[in-house]
């Protein structure tokens, strides 16, 4: 049995949930989300809780059981509280600004990179070096954060680039550090003729 799949999901009062054959839709103060449900999974709504069950005990049904429960729980969390990712920009002269609905990045290229704000996603700035991405859909928030990070991945030598908040970058020693470390000059011997 899936331990995660067995847990009931509590529906908050601010959330309305609609079940239709093969689909579930969740609406809350932060937005609305839809999810297609695999035919091997049964969703039951009792008062203010949702129970996820499976029709069969094969391997695919077992794996879908816990997955479906996690996706629905994430949807409910997203429409009530929302999901957030924070990116930090490291580098001299690197900065982010919001122009209208778009995010503009100056990250060491000859041009400014403009990222249009997608539907249901909100860009915010904390200072000039922190980008906050908010939205109800966990997958979409994570995907956009990953796309922004991929524009300037952190450099392992200098540490410049875009990183997730709390991410640790393991810096590599440069060439100069490698050459001078642990190498002693060869002893010279004088030859007599």
CATH of region 3-80:
3.90.930.12
Superfamily of domain 83-167: Ribosomal protein L6 (3.90.930.12)
pLDDT digits (tens, 9 = 90+) for 25-70: 999 999 999 999 999 999 998 888 999 998 888 888 888 999 999 9
Residue whose pair of structure tokens reads 């000059």 in the numeric block: 185
pLDDT digits (tens, 9 = 90+) for 4-31: 888 899 999 999 999 988 899 999 999 9
Among 96, 193, 100, CA closest to 148: 96
> What is the average pLDDT score of the chain?
87
* In the chain, domain spans: 3-80, 83-167
| Fold equal for 3-80 and 83-167 | yes
Q: Report residue 121 CA to chain centroid gap.
A: 13
Angstrom distance (rounded) from CA 1 to CA 186:
67
Q: What is the pTM of this model?
A: 0.80
**Whole-angstrom Cα Rg for the chain:** 26
The first and second tokens of residue 91, run together, are 């580098």
């Amino acid at each position: 049995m899936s331990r995660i799949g067995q847990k009931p999901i509590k529906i908050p009062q601010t959330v309305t949930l609609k079940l239709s054959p093969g689909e579930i839709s969740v609406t809350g103060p932060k937005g609305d989300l839809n999810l297609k449900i695999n035919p091997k999974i049964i969703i039951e709504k009792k008062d203010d809780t949702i129970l996820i069950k499976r029709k069969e005990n094969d391997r695919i049904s077992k794996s879908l059981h816990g997955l479906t429960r996690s996706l629905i729980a994430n949807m409910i969390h997203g429409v009530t509280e929302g999901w957030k990712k924070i990116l930090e920009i490291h580098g001299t002269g690197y900065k982010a600004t919001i122009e209208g609905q778009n995010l503009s990045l100056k990250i060491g290229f000859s041009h400014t990179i403009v990222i249009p704000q997608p539907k249901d996603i909100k860009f915010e700035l904390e200072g000039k070096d922190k980008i906050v991405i908010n939205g109800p859909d966990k997958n979409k928030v994570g995907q956009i954060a990953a796309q922004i990070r991929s524009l300037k991945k952190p450099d392992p030598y200098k540490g410049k680039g875009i990183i997730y908040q709390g991410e640790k970058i393991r810096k590599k020693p440069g060439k100069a550090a490698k050459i001078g470390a642990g190498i002693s000059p060869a002893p010279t011997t004088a030859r007599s003729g």
